[in-house]
Amino acid sequence: MNKKDLRTILLVEDSTADAEMAMDALGEAHLVNPVVHVEDGVECLDYLYARGAWASREPGDPAVVLLDIKMPRMNGLDVLTQMRSDERLRRIPVVILSSSREESDLARSWDLGANAYVIKPVDVDQFFDAVRTLGQFWAVLNQAPEKD
């Protein structure tokens, strides 16, 4: 195992129920990558910049950020905007994981530079499949450029 395999999966989700289900699904994917769960946009940026409560975390970017849109304080699209405008964060893959099928949400996410948009299915099996696949793809298959 090289260093890349150990990159974290950052789950940004205000709903503890959703987070628990997502963690379960990722667990079912048998990933070795650690999964970090933060509960809103502000905390997400704290983690990415390794500041505040996350000031003393292990250095290194996550393999993927699974980002909910509707969250208290700072929502997912604001986080995405910030990430894409910062040289240090712009290459981190972001997958929007949302309940919304609204065309406007999809369009804005893509416009802001999301790498994928996944609608959380109500059907539990579909939901598990989706999260499992996401984890496997982004944490294992996807090749990210080494940081210079």
Partner 1 sequence: MLLAVLVIVALPYVVTLSNSRDTQRAAAWVTHSNAVKSVTYQIAYMMQDSESASYRLLSGDGNESTRKCALLASQQVPALLRQLRTMTLDNPDQQAAISALESGADGRITLMNQALSRLQHGDAAGARQSLRDGGDLFAIDSEIAAIVHNEDSLLEARRANAAKQAFNGRVVLSITALAQLLLLTIIVVMSERQIGQRRLAETREGRAVLRSQLIFQAVREPIALFDKDLNSLLVNNAFRELYGMDPGRNAQPLAGIGDGAWNDNVLLQRLNDVLLRDRELWDHDVIQRTVDGVDRHVVINARRLQQQDTDAPALLLTVSDVTTRALAEQKVSELNRQLEGKVAQISDVNRELEAFSYSVSHDLRAPLRHISGFARKLEHHLGAHADEKANHYIEIIAGSAQRMAQLIDDLLVFSRLGRGPLRLQAIDMQSVVDEARSLAESEAHDRRIVWKIAPLPMVIGDENMLRTVWQNLLGNAVKYTGHCEVARIEVSVQQGRRGDYEFTVADNGAGFDMQYADKLFGVFQRLHRASDFPGNGIGLANVRRIVARHGGRVWAEAEPGQGARFHFSLPATDAAGAPIESRA
First to last CA, the chain: 21
Asked whether position 107 contacts partner 1 by CB under 8 A, the answer is no
Residue 55 lies near partner 1 (rule: CB under 8 A): no
Q: What is the sign, positive or negative, of the torsion defined by CA atoms of 45, 50, 54, 57?
A: positive
Tell whether residue 114 is a contact of partner 1 (CB under 8 A).
no
Q: Is 69 in the site for partner 1 (CB under 8 A)?
A: yes
* Number of chain residues interacting with partner 1 (CB under 8 A): 21
Pairwise CA distance, residues 72 & 38, whole Å: 12
Residue nearer to partner 1 on the CB measure, 63 or 131: 131
Q: Return the sign of the alpha-carbon dihedral for residues 73, 18, 76, 10.
A: positive
Q: Are 130 and 118 in contact (CB under 8 A)?
A: yes
**Does residue 37 interact with partner 1 by CB under 8 A?**
no
Contact residues: partner 1, CB under 8 A:
15, 17-18, 21, 24, 69-70, 98-103, 105, 120-125, 127
